[in-house]
Amino acid sequence: MRKILCVAEKPSIAKAVANHLAGAHVPARSVTGSTYTKNYEFDYNFGPPWNQCRVVFTSVAGHLTVTDFDPKYKNWRAFPATELFEARIDVFVKDDNKPIERNIEQEARGAFALFIWTDCDREGEHIGMEVRNAARKTNANIQVKRAIFSNIERAHIIEASRRFHELDEKQAAAVETRNELDLRIGAAFTRFLTLSLQKVSPKLEDRPVISYGSCQFPTLGFVVDRYWKVRNFTPEPFWKIAVMHQKQGMDVRFTWKRGHLFDRMTVVILFERCLAAKHARVSKVTKKPTRKYRPLPLTTVELQKNGTRFLRLDSKRVMTVAESLYNKGWISYPRTETDQFDKATNLRPFIEKQAQSTQWGQYAQGLLDGGFQFPRSGRNNDKAHPPIHPVNFVFPNTLASDDERRVYEFIVRRFLACCSADALGESTTIDLTYGPERFATSGLTVLEKNYLDVYPYERWESSAQLPPFAEGETFVPTEANIVDGKTTAPDYLTEPELIELMDRNGIGTDATMAEHISKVKEREYIRAVARSGAGAGEGEEEGQGNVGRGARGSRGGRGGRGGRGGRGSSAGRGGGRGGLDQLVPTQLGVALIDWYESLNLDKNVAKPFLRKDLEVQLKAICDGAKTKTQVVQTEVEVYREIYARQSQQVALLKAVCSPMWLSDRDARLQY
Amino acid sequence: MPPTTHPPINGQAISDHLVRLNLHPSPSFLHSFISSQTRNLPINAVCHSARFRILNADIRECLSPPPNQLLPRDLTRSNPHDLPAQERHLAGPFVLQIAWVEDIGKSKWSQLTEWEQAKRDEGREKVVGLADADSDDAAEATHPANAIGQGRSQALAPKGPFKLHLHDAQNPPAQVHGVTVGPIEGINVDVPMGGKILVKDVVVARGVMLLDSSNTTLLGGKVHALATKYKEGRIDYLRRHLEGDGTVG
């Protein structure tokens, strides 16, 4: 029988796939020198043209190789940092990966084919290339194919094992390009910052390295930008007219269509004209059906945002947990940009599996019994992976940790919500004309909760009942007041907001964003602090007495606008935001960004454009429009220029990071 | 002196034309205008050019309306101890010059922030903010950060209203504040200073003209010096008020 070598990206995937293919438990054989890597041997029929084969299924542990400079560059002082832009780079296998490489070399011997089972994304393609290179060392003619799969559910794996694809060299080249640029730019700029700031401040002395990363700096830039918005904020007074009318024992609060104005005199004049008119007239009563849309299928970015918002886990933790759920076969591949299910997908089996749950099983059964609606389609499709969804049911209490349980529960509930009907309601809006001014109030009656029954993360609730009003009806309002208030500062950035900003500005990929945020924290450029004070998030604070905050309740039905339901904003805000940590830059973080800002670069490294450009170029490599060499050259030139510019301003850099300056900042930073 | 080779320009015809437009030219304006006409153009074109000159000159130097088309002197302070009348109707028509505009629907902080942002973004790629572009996804579309310093209800309110500092052609001019209680085409914080508006049948409440499209039309024009001063001064003005005690009213 012919021998075939299969290689997965991680041991857990090798084990799961091997067991699926073998159809039985396959004993693991240790690999000399490696603790986690195991080989699984069994017979399997791949179908034509390979048919029955003797399979050796093994894995790597992520990337086999690393990219680094020639060791002579390790001495920072021996070479100018700019040499790193063109210094020779070696690609080699790390010592701890040597046994894994050896294992592949050995097993490739005598195998006619290498079947690669790395994750289906850019990194996976690159790892596949590394595996291929290792295998060819001992077997130059080995046939190389790749399996395409997005979860390790059995049927899906069996199917994937019968389709043989080619490795995508272009995607691997994009990864190589990024690795090389990150290395060159990161090293050169880190050396510059570190050497410039050494001995500048005793506070910096316990930091051996002031590191630079081309994703980390724009990430930090967002945090600093918001920081200054908060610090520079000046509250301003505003005034508004509030009208309340009692009817059938209910207090109905009407809000001013103008919102509030920043000119007291004008408000007083308009208010006086309302009073002079005496009677208010109901100009319009609108009742219309409204709906709150079920969520879209889940992408990585959404998982991270919702994970931080609803589950209070930082984005890196969410991804680690999701990764582990994927490795165990409970969910589909958690790194995806796709928010649309292929119309041909049969989603019923995934719902069926959830029917045994004591928590949401009954709901899942309801979907199977006719409640099912094919999910809405978002705009994104990475053409590699479906949206994140549960592939198998697991009893939550058998999961390893509370975080795993919560993330799994969220993914399941989100999936079931996607397959449900929108929540339906009816909104009533009453428009009022009072003197020259217009007011309105609205109410919401939720008629069918639908997806909300299984998705407690969002709220959409009926407002207080409104008494009946007829068009043309006039009355003398029970109360009319001028209410004053003042604007309040925005909050510091939260992690879900930061992820959103990174996503919108193309910083990192969905897969690496959490990593960058965590790096910036680790390097102490930012820190997460518990929110102090509550309820400041809305930028509006009203005076005590008078009508007070009660007025807000009557706005509950603003979702009636355009029939777009509550849009979840009011609920998401009220429910989700309260206890989120805020991201505040450290003094050093602020100093570095402010300094880069002051260089007035065409393309500021503290802004997202440079990185966005790179992502575009990497995409061009994947599409075959550009080569690695072209992109590396262009990018290095750009950074070389920035480097030259920043080198002229070292004195200023030292000044802004000087101890005196930092202690001055100290006083201003109140966490 | 006009060149004698041309027939004399019909000053009366020009004046009649301008008056029909509620622009009563002052004799000195008319005189200097006519004397500056060197070519023998059709009367229509000359009238047009006269109107243009008026709109782009200081109102005090080019108009002298009849008394009923000038603002009453007692509009804002009939008596130093009294409030101006709660309501007063004025028929007009009045041609008034805009000396300053404020957006009273937005906080000064947000106006300043917007301006600074626009300035930074000039000619550069723009950072996509949380408020930009509507996401297709329901849950995250609206975010508190969108409404920084504004308050949520802001989104429901129309742009403005705007508070205008206005004056007429008298010397010294009679001044009045106007508030756009409804939108008026062309009037916003970018309207050039020295621009003229025509106001008819207007209510003045407590000395403030309540302007909307039924009683007010923007005639246009600008006075270059005023426009420049406003453009340069507006941001300083916003900044000064914010750096003050924060209680600008």
Give the pLDDT confidence of A351-383 residue by residue, as tens digits: 999 999 999 999 999 999 999 999 999 988 877
Of the pLDDT bands very low, low, confident and very high (cuts 50, 70, 90), residue B139 is very low
> What's domain A300-418's architecture?
Orthogonal Bundle (1.10)
Q: What is the pTM of this model?
A: 0.76
Helices A300-310, A402-418: axis angle to 10 degrees equals: 120
Does A231 lie at the interface with B, CB-CB under 8 angstroms? no
Of the pLDDT bands very low, low, confident and very high (cuts 50, 70, 90), residue B80 is low
| Residue of A501, A499, A517 whose CA lies nearest to A607 | A501
Helices A11-22, A315-327: axis angle to 10 degrees equals: 30
**CB-CB neighbors (< 8 A) of A224 in chain B:** none
Q: Do B138 and A564 touch (CB under 8 A)?
A: yes
Of the pLDDT bands very low, low, confident and very high (cuts 50, 70, 90), residue A161 is very high
Strands ordered across the beta sheet of B88-90: B88-90, B202-205, B208-211, B175-180, B162-167, B94-103, B196-199, B216-220
Q: Which residues pair with A542 in a beta bridge?
A: A485
Does A396 lie at the interface with B, CB-CB under 8 angstroms? no
> What's domain A236-293+425-487+537-563's architecture?
Distorted Sandwich (2.70)
Query: Would you say residue A472 has pLDDT above 60?
Result: yes
Q: What confidence score (pLDDT) does residue A14 get?
A: 92
Does B175 lie at the interface with A, CB-CB under 8 angstroms? no
Cis status, amide bond into A49, omega within 30 of 0? yes
What residue ranges do the domains of chain A occupy?
Answer: 2-167, 168-228+489-534+578-671, 236-293+425-487+537-563, 300-418
- Longest distance between any two alpha carbons in chain B, whole Å: 78
DSSP for A511-578?
TTHHHHHHHHHHTTSEEEEPPPSSS-TTS-EE-SSTTTTHHHHTTGGGGGGGG-TTTTHHHIIIIIST
Query: Would you say residue A63 has pLDDT above 60?
Result: yes
Q: In angstroms, rounded to a whole number, what is the distance separating the alpha carbons of residues A304 and A320? A: 11
Task: For residues A601-624, give the mean pLDDT.
Answer: 87
Q: Do B147 and A539 touch (CB under 8 A)?
A: yes
Q: In angstroms, rounded to a whole number, what is the distance separating the alpha carbons of residues A640 and A292? A: 51
| Residue of A443, A420, A458 whose CA lies nearest to A290 | A443
Q: In angstroms, rounded to a whole number, what is the distance separating the alpha carbons of residues A311 and A305? A: 10
Supply φ then ψ for residue B154, to 5 degrees: -50, -40
Count Cβ atoms below 10 Å from residue B47 Cβ, excluding itself.
20
Of the pLDDT bands very low, low, confident and very high (cuts 50, 70, 90), residue B79 is low
**CB-CB neighbors (< 8 A) of B157 in chain A:** 257-259
Q: What confidence score (pLDDT) does residue B163 get?
A: 94
Residue of B nearest to A229 (CA): B113
Supply φ then ψ for residue A505, to 5 degrees: -105, 10
Does B200 lie at the interface with A, CB-CB under 8 angstroms? no
DSSP for A289-351?
EEEEPPPPPB-HHHHHHHHHHHS---HHHHHHHHHHHHHTTSB--S-----S--TT---HHHH
Q: Name the amino acid, one letter, at A288.
A: K
Angle among Cα B144, B134, A555 to the nearest 5 degrees reads: 45
Q: Which of residues 49-78 of B touch A (CB under 8 A)?
A: none
* Alpha-carbon distance values, A554 to A475, A482, A519, B15, B129 (Å): 19, 17, 44, 58, 29
Q: In angstroms, rounded to a whole number, what is the distance separating the alpha carbons of residues A409 and A361? A: 12
Q: In angstroms, rounded to a whole number, what is the distance separating the alpha carbons of residues A444 and A425? A: 7
What distance in Å separates residue B3's CA from the closest CA in chain A?
54
Question: Which of A219, A225, A226, A238 to substitute to test the interface with B, most B CBs within 10 Å?
Answer: A238
- The beta-carbon neighbor of B128 closest among A505, A540, A572 is A505
Q: What confidence score (pLDDT) does residue A93 get?
A: 92
Q: What confidence score (pLDDT) does residue B35 get?
A: 80
Q: Please, which contacts does B23-26 make with residues 24 or more away whose CB atoms are closer than 8 Å?
A: B23/B51, B23/B54, B23/B63, B23/B95, B24/B63, B24/B64, B24/B65, B24/B66, B24/B69, B25/B50, B25/B54, B25/B62, B25/B63, B25/B64, B26/B61, B26/B62, B26/B63, B26/B64, B26/B169
Residue of A nearest to B164 (CA): A266
Task: For residues A538-549, give the mean pLDDT.
Answer: 38
CATH class of A2-167: alpha beta
Mean pLDDT over the full length of chain A: 85
CATH number attached to the domain at A168-228+489-534+578-671: 1.10.460.10
> Residue A598: which H helix or E strand, with range?
helix A587-598
Q: What confidence score (pLDDT) does residue A663 get?
A: 53
Mean pLDDT over the full length of chain B: 77
Q: What confidence score (pLDDT) does residue A533 get?
A: 47
Q: Which of residues 449-488 of A touch B (CB under 8 A)?
A: 458, 485, 487-488
Contacts of A348 (CB under 8 A, 6+ apart): A368, A372
| A236-293+425-487+537-563 shares the fold of A168-228+489-534+578-671 | no
What is the per-residue burial (b if ≥16 Cβ within 10 Å, else e) of A418-448? bbbebbbbbbbbbbbbbbbbebbbbbbbbee
What is the per-residue burial (b if ≥16 Cβ within 10 Å, else e) of A283-313? bebeeeebbbbbbbbbbbbbbbbbbbbbbeb
Q: Name the amino acid, one letter, at A378.
A: G
| Residue of A618, A608, A610, A667 whose CA lies nearest to A643 | A610
- The beta-carbon neighbor of A263 closest among B153, B155, B249 is B249
Query: Would you say residue B230 has pLDDT above 70?
Result: yes
Q: What confidence score (pLDDT) does residue A557 get?
A: 32
Catalytic positions of A are 333
Of the pLDDT bands very low, low, confident and very high (cuts 50, 70, 90), residue B7 is low
Does B243 lie at the interface with A, CB-CB under 8 angstroms? yes
Q: What confidence score (pLDDT) does residue B247 get?
A: 46
What distance in Å separates residue A639's CA from the closest CA in chain B?
18
Q: In angstroms, rounded to a whole number, what is the distance separating the alpha carbons of residues A549 and A449? A: 27
Task: For residues A255-284, give the mean pLDDT.
Answer: 93
Cis status, amide bond into B192, omega within 30 of 0? no
Query: For A98, what's the count of Cα atoms within 13 Å in the CB-facing half-sphere?
Result: 4
Task: For residues B42-49, give the mean pLDDT.
Answer: 80
Q: Give the lowest-confidence range in A345-359, A393-407, B5-19, B66-80.
A: B5-19
Q: In angstroms, rounded to a whole number, what is the distance separating the alpha carbons of residues B220 and B217? A: 9
Q: What confidence score (pLDDT) does residue B118 get?
A: 77
Q: Which residues pair with B47 in a beta bridge?
A: none
Decide if A95 contacts A102 (C-beta within 8 A). no
Q: In angstroms, rounded to a whole number, what is the distance separating the alpha carbons of residues B247 and B233? A: 20
Tokens for B33, please give them: 């205008």
Q: In angstroms, rounded to a whole number, what is the distance separating the alpha carbons of residues A40 and B155? A: 62
Q: What digits encode the pLDDT tens for the residues A626-654?
A: 999 999 999 999 899 989 888 888 888 88
* Alpha-carbon distance values, B231 to A224, B105, B193, B228 (Å): 30, 19, 9, 5
Q: A1 by DSSP, 3-state: which?
A: coil
| Residue in this structure with the two tokens 């930082």, named with its chain if needed | A314
Q: Give the lowest-confidence range in A248-257, A335-344, A616-625, B30-39.
A: B30-39
Helices (H) and strands (E) in chain B, counts: 6, 8
Q: What confidence score (pLDDT) does residue A662 get?
A: 55
Q: What confidence score (pLDDT) does residue A294 get?
A: 95
Query: Would you say residue A541 has pLDDT above 80?
Result: no
Question: Which of B124, B134, B153 to substitute to test the interface with A, most A CBs within 10 Å?
Answer: B153
Helices A216-231, A513-522: axis angle to 10 degrees equals: 70
Pairing of strands A52-59, A2-8: parallel
Q: Which of residues 234-293 of A touch B (CB under 8 A)?
A: 234-238, 240, 255-266, 268-270, 272-273, 276, 292-293
Decide if A262 contacts A237 (C-beta within 8 A). yes
Pairing of strands A493-494, A582-585: antiparallel
Q: What confidence score (pLDDT) does residue A195 get?
A: 83
| Residue of A73, A128, A498, A568 whose CA lies nearest to A305 | A498
Does B83 lie at the interface with A, CB-CB under 8 angstroms? no
| Residue of A142, A143, A145, A158 whose CA lies nearest to A117 | A145
Question: What 8-state DSSP symbol labels residue B9?
Answer: P
Q: Give the lowest-confidence range in A156-160, A218-222, A570-574.
A: A570-574
Q: Which has more pLDDT, A537 or A470? A: A470
**Helix, strand, coil percentages, rounded to 5, for chain B:** 35, 20, 50
Decide if B64 contacts B57 (C-beta within 8 A). no
